[in-house]
Chain A
Amino acid sequence: MLITQLKSKETIESLAKGKTFIVNCHGCKEVYFAEHEAEELQKELSETNDITQIVTTDYICHPDNLALQLKKHMDKIKDADTVIVFSCGVGIQTVAKYLDDKRVYSGCDTFPLPGFQGVTPLQVDCAQCGECYLNYTGGICPITSCSKSLVNGQCGGAKDGMCEVDKEMECGWERIYRKLEKLNKLDTLKYEPKVRNYWHPDAEQTDAE
């Protein structure tokens, strides 16, 4: 799941060279899109720069849909020197590919949020490590709940059960330990040292058969 944040006003101003066409994507707005901030910024931009059109649509990451949505604006786009896209990185790349001969710029930075399906980010996360460790950890993911993604127990940096990186974040391994304790399964932790495998040559045939 992705969220977007606007780039700084100065950056965007410096990008809007010549006739500028703006595309906003609201497809993932439920997850997050700084709708009002973007509107504000584009209004201000219209006063100083030559903004020829602002189009707000959704799911521009879908190439066919993108083509359909931009169809009636193609004249203005052809005429523009610059196209600035306010969307996640996928949307921007899709536009850049579609408008191959245009300067396509990104008005946003994209950040990850935990959760794959739907529009509600989750409190649990999965980094798709390919060798699920949950069986050793009482169902708490060490890759995502530990700042260092450690797989052989805590680093020792936690203070009062809170991670050394962020005092508002519980130490993942502390949570794992407590959970296993509760399940009366502390023995689970007595496994051989684990070394992660970052190489998945078999990633292709992967259906749960």
Chain B
Amino acid sequence: MENYTKFKLKRKEELTPFLEDKDNLFILACNKCFKEFEIGDEPECSNLEQLAKEQGKTVVGSAKIDFLCNETLTSKLLQSIVPEEAEDIFVISCGLGIQTVAEQLENPVYAASDTISVDGQHGMALTTTLCDACGQCYLNLTGGICPIVDCAKSLLNGQCGGAKDGKCEVDKNKDCAWEKIYNKMESLGRLDELLAQQVEVRDYSKINHKFINQYVTSVRESRFEGYYGGVHPSEKKEFSENIDLVSFPEPRTVVIPLSQHAGAPADLIVEVGQTVKVGQKLAEANGFVSSPIHSSVSGTVVAVEPRLHPIQGIKTMAVVIQSDGENSIHESVKPAKDLNDITRDEIIELIREKGIVGMGGAGFPTSVKLKAPQKVHTVLLNGCECEPMLTADHKLMTTYPEEIIFGMKTLIKGSGAEKGVIVIEDNKHDAIEILEAKTADIPNIEVAVVKTKYPQGAEKMLVKRMLGVEIPSGGFPTDVGALVANVSTAKAVSDAMQTGMPLVERIVSVTGERIKNPGNYLVKNGTSVKDIIEHCGGVKGDDTTIKLGGPMMGFEVRDLNVPVIKSTNGVIAVETKVSEAVECIKCGRCVDVCPMELKPLYYTKYAPAENWEGMKEQNVMDCIECGSCSYICSSKIPIVDRIKIGKKAIREGK
């Protein structure tokens, strides 16, 4: 692969006199962008070091940095790597890197290199096709050949007459652009258009500081909104956002896996042939981080056997229950004590007993969060639903606002917090309105409206955005005094308190451009995904992918005979993406969007090389698998897949 970012060390004749009155140098080099990503052969500081030493200068240190112009990451790094005794800083990078360093440091910062060109910025693919961003695209007049870039004189009204044998007078190796344009237009049968063209005069005032500056400001604002990184995928909520929530028809059979949560699978306590009722416990929590499982129907246990798990992708133990359609409620289902009378410990026990786990993602048992030894001051209820397409939480908020608020109150009491904040993204106006109205008189609960940005709903981002603090690597929100729960979880807590019903059903959005009749359904735990899709009229087109969850973090399912579980917030049918990964071009996009401030490009190299040590060094375990990097990757590398491989290997102790 060609090197697209071109800068070179300044000539010795320029550097030597320049170094004269400088000393105690610190040398920074950028590992460059838009080049083949190889670990270890990046630009060298040694030539400059040598030159300085020849002149009797002290070099107090040097460092090579990835994407030096990334202000956020570079400024953090600079704090730790530039030694006190450094006086003059020399930077080897393109002009952006040098200026970024100059802005960050108090010391004088000097350019040790000259920037020649950075072509890769013109479109992500590294091809020879360029665009000069003239602000007045002429391609419509020229058959798609750029007269600004391809013509050495950027002529707009035909060739200059300097071409010889069809080659440009400036460079004999280059075809005359206007000759190419003529031929192309001729072959398209558009010559008359070319000849009838009016005289074109370029408007150089189109690209002006004001215009560019406005863009820079607005794009930067949305990029840095609340936290570093993140992406803005198309929301595509329109398929299901205006469809009312309804109950999904009673399933005839449910398949309830014993593992629906983070931690150990639950311990079975029923037998085949036994009759069970709605809300009856089927399996007991097995250890501290675990959760019980309850029946969502009344009927008979017809099997306990390994069944395909919707997210683990393998067969795991599940209870299969044939419904009698009666929906008779188990006697254990009865309201808990009044919120005023119940103690904090009783709340925690209730939440554990009723099988309540995080319903937004990994299914971490809520009671475990509540038991954290750290003092919690704020409960953050996540109503962001930043995943594209999904509208389950949105519907929940507009349908059950009272329950959410009651659940919030319970969580505040259960965690010993002082206040609670319900965080909603600004694209859900009706939910904001309802919850704002209903919380107006509650002094310690407020609604916060935030601008959309994925993955806002991730705990770590939510905490950063709302409280302005970073959760330490490997830590939890409780480490900084916050308890984060999903709005669905709050609703489940409210049910547990007010009716005593354990977590046996949830809202699922069935959506995507390929589903015939999208909708939002209240679905019983264990309902088959296949039944759901059939109920919604099936899918359109044969190039369709079904995912459980949203398009960003959802799990693709090939076999639809899998059940809905506690964390299934969506069933989506989307067009199958075809892509072929190519080599990483070091475009830096993944680094720019990773909300955890990681450098995902390393994982693309390390995973195939089975370099688990390298992955650990690059903090792969901090990755929240949000998929922002895969979403943006200009080389279509399935980065998250590679990350998962690495994490698994590391967990297995490799």
Q: Which residues of A are in contact with B by a Cβ distance under 8 Å?
A: 1-3, 5, 7, 15, 26-32, 35, 59, 61-65, 68-69, 71-72, 88-97, 100-106, 108-135, 138-141, 147, 163, 165-166, 168-169, 183, 185, 200, 203, 205-209
Contact = CB atoms under 8 A, between A and B. Distances in A.
A32 to B, nearest CB: 6
Given A90-B127, A111-B212, A116 B120 contact: yes
Interface string B83-124: 000000000101110111111000011110111111011111
B67 A117 contact: yes
Given A2-B121, A147-B209, A206-B8, A97 B116 contact: no
B7 interface: yes
B133 A128 contact: no
A2 B118 CA distance: 13
Contacts of A93: 129, 131, 139, 144-146
29 contacts: A2-B131, A2-B133, A31-B219, A61-B129, A62-B582, A89-B131, A94-B125, A95-B144, A96-B139, A96-B145, A104-B143, A106-B139, A106-B140, A110-B131, A111-B207, A117-B33, A118-B588, A119-B632, A120-B70, A124-B99, A132-B114, A134-B102, A139-B102, A140-B102, A166-B208, A185-B108, A206-B6, A206-B8, A209-B8
B135 interface: yes
A208 B32 CA distance: 10
B204 to A, nearest CB: 12
Interface string B1-43: 0010111111000000010000000000100111000000001
A1 B121 contact: yes
Interface stretch (B335-343, B398-406, B589-597): B589-597
A81 B592 CA distance: 40
A208 B207 CA distance: 32
Contacts of B207: 111-112
Given A100-B187, A119-B632, A139-B98, 7 more contacts: A2-B121, A62-B127, A110-B133, A111-B135, A117-B70, A134-B111, A206-B6
Contacts, number: 303
A65 B579 contact: yes
Which of B94, B108, B109, B145 has the largest number of chain A CB atoms within 10 A?
B108
A29 B124 CA distance: 12
A30 B188 contact: no
B587 A69 contact: no
Q: Is the interface of A mostly helix, strand, loop or mixed?
A: loop
B237 interface: no
Contacts of B124: 27-28, 59, 61-62
A44 B122 CA distance: 30
Given A62-B582, A117-B34, A207-B43, A30 B632 contact: yes
B190 interface: yes
B596 to A, nearest CB: 15
Contacts of B206: 109, 111
B96 A112 contact: no
Interface in B49-105: 67, 69-71, 92, 94-96, 98-103
B288 interface: no
Contact of A118 (B44, B70, B108, B115): B70
Given A134-B110, A135-B110, A208 B92 contact: yes
Contact of A141 (B95, B212, B213): B95
A163 to B, nearest CB: 8
Max chain A Cβ within 10 angstroms of own Cβ: one of B10, B98, B124, B588: B124
A91 B210 contact: no
Contact of B219 (A105, A108, A113, A135): A113
Contact of A106 (B71, B137, B187, B208): B137
Interface in B609-629: none
B587 A169 contact: no
Contact of B98 (A29, A96, A134, A168): A134
A110 B125 contact: no
B223 interface: yes
Contacts of B34: 116-117
A93 B130 CA distance: 8
A139 to B, nearest CB: 3
Contact of A115 (B29, B43, B69): B69
B74 to A, nearest CB: 11
B636 interface: yes
Contacts of B220: 120-121, 123
Central interface residue in A91, A96, A147, by most chain B CB within 10 Å: A96
